[in-house]
Amino acid sequence: MMTEMNETWNVMNDLEVAFSEITTFNFMLEQLQEAVDNGRTNEIVDLTHALNAFMPVYTDNWDRKYKVAWEHVVKGELND
């Protein structure tokens, strides 16, 4: 029983950690807005490229963690 609770905690914690990476995305958006407000064109281009590169990595990571959590927590309960 304790092992099952530990595993559930681990998969849910991994999901939370994956979601918390949105702070990185938010930081980059704030930097982009500052660059736009101050007309720093090169920085706008760089941040836009970075955001476009980061978004699929972020969503793929979250999706993988979500699937593991879903399989363990939801489907695991259905099989009990």
* Residue 12 falls inside a structural domain: yes
Q: Name the residue range of residue 66's domain.
A: 2-73
Across the chain, mean pLDDT equals: 89
Identify the DSSP state of 80. -
* Residue 79 falls inside a structural domain: no
State the DSSP H helix or E strand holding residue 72, giving kind and residue range, or none if neither. none
* Residue 41 falls inside a structural domain: yes
Question: Could you tell me which residue, 22 or 31, shows the higher pLDDT?
Answer: 31
* Residue 48 falls inside a structural domain: yes
pLDDT at 78: 58
Q: For the chain, how many structural domains are there in total?
A: 1
* Residue 64 falls inside a structural domain: yes
The string of pLDDT tens digits covering residues 39-70 is 999 999 999 999 999 999 999 999 999 999 99
pLDDT-derived band at 13, boundaries 50, 70, 90: very high
* Residue 78 falls inside a structural domain: no
* Residue 50 falls inside a structural domain: yes
Q: Which residues contact 73 (CB under 8 A, 6 or more apart)?
A: 8, 11, 12
* Residue 30 falls inside a structural domain: yes
pLDDT at 43: 98
